Amino acid sequence: MNQLETIKENVQTYGLTDGICRGENLIYSEKTLAGLENIFVDEDKRKAMNQSEVVYRVEAYFPVAEGTEAGLFFGTSRINPGQVGDEYFMTQGHFHQKANRGEFYWGIKGEGVLLLMDMERNTRAEKVFPGSLHYIPGFTGHRLVNTGKEELTVGACWPSDAGHNYGDIREQGFSKGVFNRNGVPVLEDIEKR
């Protein structure tokens, strides 16, 4: 018997330099400016832009069903370069539905910032670049910001029972944002909505 026949070809692959997930049980989603109401500080500016412009896309590998305890999901987020007013394009951001669940992010391509906000609304920022690794603890809201001129590509791995809580961010926002001030990304306080 040929021993190699017992070593199966893996149908699941991952592009180390582009984050492309290939194989089975993949899901794809995208977020346009139309779907990001009240996320950016300057809502009038957002409304005045092309509503079908894609701000970010997500591809993910779900080897188990959403909500499965003790499983893991794996994926890639791609945030396009751009701004709403002076505020860089970014993801909607979320806490986890099971709020104590953590997550890993890692930078693959481009440059950006990961905003992390605790339950007391203290927000900190970590630089994202190819090879940067980010541990997102539980009870921490997270949002990716593209401060560069090319796509920001970020890998992620999170528990399959974490879920997403977008509501708190949608209602209250983050306490800080990242703005282009004379070509330099600056972390600034945002007034509570």
CB 66 within 8 A of CB 160: yes
What does the binding site for Mn ion look like in residue numbers (CB under 5 A)? 103
Smallest separation, CB 188 to Mn ion (Å) = 24
What's the rounded Cα separation, in Å, for the pair 31 and 80? 11
Q: Tokens at residue 163, please?
A: 């879920």
What's the rounded Cα separation, in Å, for the pair 83 and 106? 23
What amino acid is encoded at 183 in this protein? G
Closer residue to Mn ion (CB): 20 or 157: 157
Smallest separation, CB 143 to Mn ion (Å) = 10
What's the rounded Cα separation, in Å, for the pair 74 and 52? 27
Closer residue to Mn ion (CB): 103 or 111: 103
What sign has the CA pseudo-torsion 74, 54, 99, 128?
positive
Hunting for tokens 């080897």 — which residue is that? Answer: 63
Closer residue to Mn ion (CB): 103 or 161: 103
Q: Tokens at residue 94, please?
A: 């979320």
Which residue's CB atom is positioned nearest to Mn ion? 103
Closer residue to Mn ion (CB): 59 or 103: 103
Smallest separation, CB 94 to Mn ion (Å) = 6
Smallest separation, CB 101 to Mn ion (Å) = 8
Smallest separation, CB 10 to Mn ion (Å) = 26
* Angle in degrees, CA 90, 95, 97, rounded to 5: 135
Closer residue to Mn ion (CB): 13 or 100: 100
